[in-house]
Amino acid sequence: MNMQKLLALAGAALLVAACGGTGTTATATPTAAASAAASAAQPLPDVVIGLATSKTGAANFYNPQQSNGAQLAVDQFNATGGFQGGRQKIKLVIEDDGSARDQGITVFRKFIDQDKATLILGPTLSAVAAGAHPVAQAAGVPVVAISNTGLGIVGKCDYGPCDWIFRASLGEQSAVPETVKAATQKLGLKKVVIIYGDGKFELDDLTIFKDAFKANGVTVAKEIAYTAKDVDFAPFVTAAKAENPDAIVASSLAGPAGKILDEVAKQMPGKRVIGGNGLNSSALLPNANAGLMVVGTAWSKASTDKANTDFIAAYKQKYNADPDQFAAQSYSAMLVVIDAMKRTTRMSDRAQVKTALETVKDLPTPLGAFSFTADHDVKQPTFVMTVKDGQFTPFQ
């Protein structure tokens, strides 16, 4: 065999090998497309969302409702398969903010540095948010406030730019004027006394209530302050009674509000107690004097909107209890976040999620059709409520 034939045979052998053959039966190897398909089927890391809520401290009345609402929305979404064709789910990490500014800051830092959260919900109180939100703002992590209704939460914030902060909870600047207007018209108010606490939320409410009563031609005869350490509210109500007011205003959280209701019922039977968002807690419903309340709320259980009736049914099935406004707000906020993440190319990309949140428009939620304003505030109506038969009901 000459050299040319040897070279030809060698070349043929190389060609067969290169094509995956052996000279007998060919054995196929995985193609690039098959490898890509196998890779695409692999699960992706969970998208982490942090929830800072007051399990302890002065605002513990609003938990576990906040935790339950958010967890229900996550569980429902994950049950559908999650993102990326079922390859990526949401992991909700819940931490106690302790109703305290410093603890809230610590929790936010944990979410950002340790948990690598894409987004944070909370904290419960506006005073805690004033310390925690700047931490997220500086880190470029979007936040959705689910119960911070005080001043300076979104839009113009005391600490500077707050464009990473969104609010899904109806602000007192919207709710209180509607409450005061309804109460003034229905009760014929001419004079009121305001009993208020020393926290940021209570002080913000004091300012908003005073402005609202002035706009409605109602005189604030006296402002009576209490501190977080006070437990006996009889002296405060006695001082209010001396002014012979048409109604008492409680600028307070749920705990003190219950004591104010009890004292008003004792000293001024039948006198109405007008309150802000702090009185919207289901923790007050068992109070025998809850029927004295008049309060503006972001949510109405009586709404027959499908998103609301489905939410109520699912919540009762999962937790064997009725939801309240705080459950509805955390649930709705999570729906908003999920909607935004669906419209990104990478659900864990904080900047993409922020941009998507800004374009949420008329999303069906238990709160109604949900949208954010240009200042990242929720746009929704106010429901003025009282309590009857142990349930919040429209004030008519």
pLDDT tens figures, 115-152? 999 999 999 999 999 999 999 999 999 999 999 999 99
Domain range list for the chain: 47-170+302-381, 173-297
Q: Tell me which of 3.30.413.10, 3.40.50.300, 3.40.50.2300, 3.40.30.10 is the CATH number of domain 47-170+302-381.
A: 3.40.50.2300
* Mean residue pLDDT across the chain: 91
Q: Degrees (nearest 5) of the Cα angle 78, 146, 254?
A: 125
Taking only the tens place, the pLDDT of each residue in 283-304 is 999 999 999 999 999 999 999 9
Of the candidates 124, 167, 170, 389, the one whose C-alpha atom is nearest the C-alpha of residue 295 is 170
Taking only the tens place, the pLDDT of each residue in 316-353 is 999 999 999 999 999 999 999 999 999 999 999 999 99
pLDDT of 40:
57
- Angstrom distance (rounded) from CA 206 to CA 190: 18
Tell me: pLDDT of 16 over 70: no
Contact 323, 357 (CB under 8 A): no
Of the candidates 229, 230, 267, the one whose C-alpha atom is nearest the C-alpha of residue 248 is 267
Of the candidates 51, 162, 147, the one whose C-alpha atom is nearest the C-alpha of residue 97 is 51
pTM: 0.84
Taking only the tens place, the pLDDT of each residue in 54-112 is 999 999 999 999 999 999 999 999 999 999 999 999 999 999 999 999 999 999 999 99
Tell me: pLDDT of 273 over 90: yes
Sign of CA dihedral 165, 168, 174, 175: negative
Tell me: pLDDT of 113 over 90: yes
Percent over 70 (pLDDT), the chain:
90
The radius of gyration of the chain from alpha carbons, rounded to an integer in Å, stands at 28
Tell me: pLDDT of 232 over 80: yes
Provide the CATH number for the domain formed by 173-297 in this structure: 3.40.50.2300
Backbone angles phi, psi at 12, to 5 degrees: -65, -40
Taking only the tens place, the pLDDT of each residue in 214-228 is 999 999 999 999 999
